[in-house]
Amino acid sequence: MNTKTLQTNLLKIKHFIKLHSALVNPAKFVKNFRLFFIFINEKIYLISYKVSIVLAELSN
């Protein structure tokens, strides 16, 4: 497990804690919604990036 993987996992844990606190405390949810939205966008970007790499490898 390299540093990048470790950082990603820590980030996931952080986001999970934020999500959990958002579910517990709705007032915080409004504040964290923007962060959550950014998190979702990052995930979509990562997935599309990985898909494009796979497609590029398949087309070669």
The whole-angstrom separation of Cα 18 and Cα 27 is: 12
Per-residue confidence (pLDDT) for residue 22, from 0 to 100: 60
Per-residue confidence (pLDDT) for residue 29, from 0 to 100: 66
pLDDT tens readout for residues 4-59: 887 888 888 787 777 666 666 766 667 777 777 888 888 888 888 888 988 888 88
Q: Please state the pTM of the whole predicted model.
A: 0.38
Buried b (16+ CB within 10 A) or exposed e, 24-35: eeeeeeeebeee
